[in-house]
């Protein structure tokens, strides 16, 4: 089931949750908490690695990291869907703000 956009993933996840009766558990509060747990699980994979080691994961490590990243994305997309937030639009707006706040000519 390929997804070409976050909106397609959101629609799939909405149906997935509905089919399982999970809507009652998917409040923004609960999804934010689950997102934090998954982000912590992602961080665990890098906890004791050096900067260089974190850039050169073996295939097994990369797959484990990819699945944790997917969990983070899934919870984030689900939360945005429940709140009616367009993540791509929010990201565009945030990039504009960051461009103004951190102009390239001020780089260290």
Q: How many domains does the chain have?
A: 1
Tokens of 61: 């490590």
The reported pLDDT for the residue numbered 66 is 98
- Is the residue at 71 inside a domain? yes
What is the token pair recorded at 64? 């484990």
Q: What pLDDT shows up at residue 80? A: 97
For all residues of the chain together, what is the average pLDDT? 95
Q: Is position 48 within any domain?
A: yes
- Indicate which CATH number applies to the domain containing 61: 1.10.287.1080
Contact between residue 87 and residue 77 where contact means Cβ atoms under 8 Å apart: yes
Q: Is residue 1 part of a domain?
A: no
Question: Do 49 and 8 contact (CB within 8 A), yes or no?
Answer: no
Contact 42, 68 (CB under 8 A): yes
How far apart are the C-alpha atoms of 31 and 26, rounded to whole Å?
6
Report if residue 18 sits inside a domain: yes
In a domain, 79, yes or no: yes
Q: What is the pLDDT of residue 64?
A: 98
Confidence at residue 1, expressed as pLDDT on a 0 to 100 scale? 73
Its domain, for residue 95, covers 6-106
> If you average pLDDT over residues 29-53, what whole number do you get?
98
Q: pTM (2 decimals)?
A: 0.90
Query: How large is the average pLDDT for residues 16-42?
Result: 97
């Amino acid at each position: 089931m390929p997804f070409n956009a976050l909106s397609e993933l959101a629609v799939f996840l909405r149906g997935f949750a509905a089919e399982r009766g999970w809507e009652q558990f998917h409040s923004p509060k609960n999804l934010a908490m689950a997102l934090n747990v998954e982000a912590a699980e992602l961080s665990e994979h890098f906890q004791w690695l050096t900067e260089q080691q974190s850039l050169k994961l073996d295939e097994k490590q990369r797959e484990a990291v990819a699945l944790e990243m997917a969990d983070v994305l899934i919870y984030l997309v689900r939360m945005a869907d429940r709140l009616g937030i367009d993540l791509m639009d929010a990201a565009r707006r945030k990039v504009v703000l960051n461009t103004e706040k951190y102009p390239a000519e001020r780089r260290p």
